[in-house]
Amino acid sequence: MDTAAPPHLSWPFFTDAHRALAAHASTWVADQQIDPRDTDAACRAWVRALGAAGLLRYTVPREWGGALDALDSRALCLLRETLSAHDGLADFAFAMQGLGSGAVTLGGRDAVRHEWLPRVGSGDAIAAFALSEPNAGSDVGAMTSSAVRVAGGWRLDGEKTWVSNGGIADFYCVFARTDPATTGPKGISAFLVPATTPGLDASARIEVMSPHPLATVQFDGCFIPEDYLLGEEGAGFALAMRTLDIFRPSVAAAAVGFARRALAETLAQAHQRAMFGATLGSQPLAQAIIGDMATDVDAAALLTYRAAWQRDTQEGRTTAVAAMAKLGATELAQQVIDRAVQLHGGRGVRVGEVVERLYRDIRSLRIYEGATEVQRLLVGREVLKAAKGAPVPPT
C-alpha cells in the first residue's frame, strides 16, 4: 500500500504537528506484521505495539501519561484513518483505548486517573466501554443494570452486551441505574470496574463478520469502591454523551481510512486490469464510478475533520457536527467500498482480497456508537433546536 501522506493533510484544519503525526503513523504502521488468525492475541499485540510506539499516548491527556495537554480530536482522527487504511484491527485496538477510558479521563477522580490512564497510554492495560444492554442499545434510557449503595461503595448487578474488548479488557467503564425511581436517561451513573472484580463474567463471547474481541458481560453482586464512581452520581448519561462527542468523529475517520484504502486498491486495479483491448481505467463507465468514489471520500473527510476541528477549537457541545460526521462518513464509505468490490469483479468477493475485508470491516461502523438512524435523529433535533426562534427568511 502507498504510505504517502493523504492529500487532505494540506487542508487548513491541521497544524504542522498533526501533519508530522500522520506521516509518522503511516510509516510506522506499514512496517507492522501482526498475525490476525487469533483475534484476541492479535488485538493484544496491537495494543502493545501501539503503546511501545507512543501512539496510545494520544488517547489520554499529558497529566496522566499522554502526549498532549488534552484529548485532541484531530490527532485521534488522523491516527484512526491511518490505522484503518492498513488494518481494521489496528484501528480497533487504538480506538478502544480512547473510548474505553474516555469516561475516566473526563470524570475519574485523580487517584483513579493516575492508577489507570498511564497504563492505557503505555498499552499495559486494555480498556472497554460497557453501555449497551440486550434491550437497551440505542435506547439507553431502557437500561436495567443497577448499582445500589452499600458500605464503602456500590453493588453492581446486570448485563452488558456488544462490549468491545469484552473478555480481554483489564477494566470496564460501566453505566448503571443508581436511582430506581427515575426513568429514561436520568439516574444513571458510571463506574470503573476492574476485570478481576468478583462477580464479573466476560466469558460469553460474540462472533461477528469482521472479527474483533466482543462479549456479553455479566455483573453479579460486583462490589465497586466509592472512589471508582466516575463523575457525579446520576450524571452518567451526560458523561457517556460527552465521551461519544469526542470519539464519534473518530469513527467517521476510521470510515474515511477504509474508503481511502478501497479507492487506492481500485485505482491500482483500474490501471492493471486488461479489458476490451485497453485497461479497466480507460473505460468511461469505470471512470465515472471512480469519480463518484473520489468525491465521496473527500466529502466524508471534510465532514470528519470539520467536526474534529470544531471540537478542538470551539466552545460548547459538538453533538450535531459529530453526528453529521459519523452519519455521512460511514454511509459514504459503505458506498465507496461497495463500488470498489464491483470494479474488482470476481476478485472482489474472494476471501483474502483487501476490498473483501474492507466490505466486512465497514458494515459495523454504521451501527456502533450510535446507528445511522440514531445519528439522523440527533442531527434533526439539534438543527431544529438551533433554528427555534431564529428569524423567518423573507418570502
Superfamily of domain 238-385: Butyryl-CoA Dehydrogenase, subunit A, domain 3 (1.20.140.10)
CB 330 within 8 A of CB 322: no
| pLDDT tens-place string over residues 160-219 | 999 999 999 999 999 999 998 888 888 999 999 999 999 999 999 999 999 999 999 999
pLDDT at 122: 98
pLDDT at 2: 47
pLDDT at 5 > cutoff 70: no
Task: Determine the Cα–Cα distance for residues 13 and 294; give it in Å rounded to an integer.
Answer: 20
Phi first, then psi: give them for residue 161, nearest 5 degrees: -135, 170
**Total-model pTM:** 0.92
CB 64 within 8 A of CB 115: no
Asked about 207 being catalytic, the answer comes back as no
CB 359 within 8 A of CB 337: yes
Q: CB-side exposure of 356: number of CA atoms within 13 Å?
A: 9
Q: Does domain 10-124 have CATH number 2.40.30.110?
A: no
pLDDT at 1: 46
Strands (E), the chain: 127-130, 146-150, 153-164, 171-177, 188-194, 200-205, 214-225, 229-230, 274-275, 278-279
CATH of segment(s) 128-234: 2.40.110.10
| pLDDT tens-place string over residues 271-280 | 998 888 889 9
CA–CA distances in Å: residue 192 to residues 73, 128, 189:
23, 10, 11
Given the residues 81, 115, 331, 369, the one annotated as active site: 369
Q: Where along the chain do its domains lie?
A: 10-124, 128-234, 238-385
pLDDT at 147: 97
Average pLDDT over residues 46-68: 97
pLDDT at 353: 95
CA–CA distances in Å: residue 110 to residues 3, 61, 104, 190, 236:
40, 12, 9, 16, 18
pLDDT at 311 > cutoff 50: yes
